[in-house]
C-alpha cells in the first residue's frame, strides 16, 4: 500500500511539473535561442499576447496544488523522521510560493497594457509588484534550497532505501545545469530556458518514480 501511495504522489508531481512548465512556455516561450531569451528574460512578456499571459499565470494555481500534494512523498518514505517532515514542509512551502509567483508574474506587463482601465498611480503598482515578486522568488528559492539539502542528507544516510545517485536529481541540482541554457539553439532555447525550474522538477519526480518501483 505504501508503494502504491508513493507512486500516486510522484505521478502528481510529474503532472504538476508539466502544468507549470506549460504555463512558463505560454508566458515566455518564443522560437529563439537560449542566448536571445536571456537578453530579455521576463521582458519577453512584452512580446506575448494577453491571453497567453493570463492563461499561463492561471496555471500556477493547479500546478501549485499538485506539487503541494506530491511533496508528501518524504512522509511515505520516512513517516517517523523529523528531517523528512521538515523537508516535506519546506518543499510544500516552495510549491505555494512558486504558484503565487507564477500567478502574479504577468501582472506588471498586463498593467502596462491596460489602456482601457483606469489605474491610479500605475508606477506605484508596478513598483509594489516588483518588490512582491522578488520577495516570493527569494523565499521560494530559500525553501527549495533548505529542503534540497535535507533530502540530500537523507539520501546520503541511506535511510530511505533509495540509491544515493538520486542526489543528482534532487530539485535544485539539475536546475543548475538546465538554467545555463544559453547554448541551446533556436527554436528550442526560447522554450527550454524559461522552463528550467520545472524541467528540473520533472526530471526529479520521473527518476524517483522509476527508481521507487524497483525499491518498493
For the stretch 32-89, pLDDT in tens is: 988 888 887 778 888 899 999 999 999 999 999 999 999 998 888 776 788 889 999 9
| Average pLDDT along the chain | 85
Q: What is the pLDDT of residues 153-198, one digit of tens each?
A: 988 888 777 888 888 888 876 556 555 667 788 888 888 888 888 8
Ordered by start, the domain boundaries in the chain are 2-215
Residue 123 has pLDDT above 90, yes or no: no
Confidence of residue 1 (pLDDT cuts 50, 70, 90): very low
Reference 171, options 135, 214, 212, 140; nearest CA is 140
Q: Where are the alpha helices (DSSP H) in 29-121?
A: 34-40, 50-58, 60-70, 73-77, 82-104, 107-112
CA dist., res. 135 & res. 14, Å (int): 26
pTM (predicted TM-score): 0.88
CA separation for the pair 43, 123 (Å, rounded): 17
Q: What is d(CA 163, CA 200) in angstroms, rounded to the nearest whole number?
A: 19
Cell 533530502, residue located: 151
Amino acid at each position: 500500500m505504501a508503494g502504491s501511495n508513493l507512486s500516486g504522489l510522484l505521478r502528481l508531481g510529474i503532472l504538476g511539473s508539466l502544468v507549470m512548465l506549460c504555463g512558463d512556455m505560454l508566458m515566455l516561450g518564443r522560437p529563439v535561442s537560449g542566448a536571445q531569451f536571456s537578453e530579455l528574460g521576463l521582458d519577453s512578456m512584452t512580446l506575448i499576447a494577453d491571453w497567453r499571459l493570463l492563461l499561463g499565470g492561471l496555471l500556477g494555481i493547479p500546478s501549485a496544488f499538485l506539487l503541494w500534494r506530491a511533496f508528501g512523498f518524504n512522509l511515505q518514505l520516512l513517516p517517523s523522521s523529523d528531517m523528512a517532515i521538515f523537508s516535506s514542509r519546506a518543499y510544500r512551502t516552495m510549491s505555494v510560493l512558486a504558484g503565487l509567483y507564477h500567478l502574479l508574474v504577468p501582472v506588471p506587463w498586463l498593467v502596462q497594457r491596460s489602456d482601457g482601465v483606469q489605474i491610479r498611480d500605475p508606477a506605484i503598482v508596478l513598483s509594489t509588484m516588483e518588490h512582491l515578486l522578488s520577495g516570493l522568488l527569494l523565499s521560494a528559492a530559500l525553501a527549495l534550497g533548505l529542503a534540497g539539502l535535507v533530502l540530500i542528507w537523507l539520501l546520503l544516510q541511506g535511510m530511505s532505501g533509495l540509491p544515493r545517485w538520486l542526489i543528482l536529481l534532487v530539485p535544485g541540482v539539475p536546475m543548475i545545469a538546465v538554467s545555463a541554457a544559453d547554448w541551446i539553439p533556436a527554436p528550442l532555447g526560447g522554450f527550454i530556458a524559461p522552463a528550467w525550474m520545472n524541467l528540473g522538477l520533472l526530471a526529479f519526480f520521473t527518476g524517483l518514480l522509476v527508481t521507487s518501483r524497483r525499491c518498493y
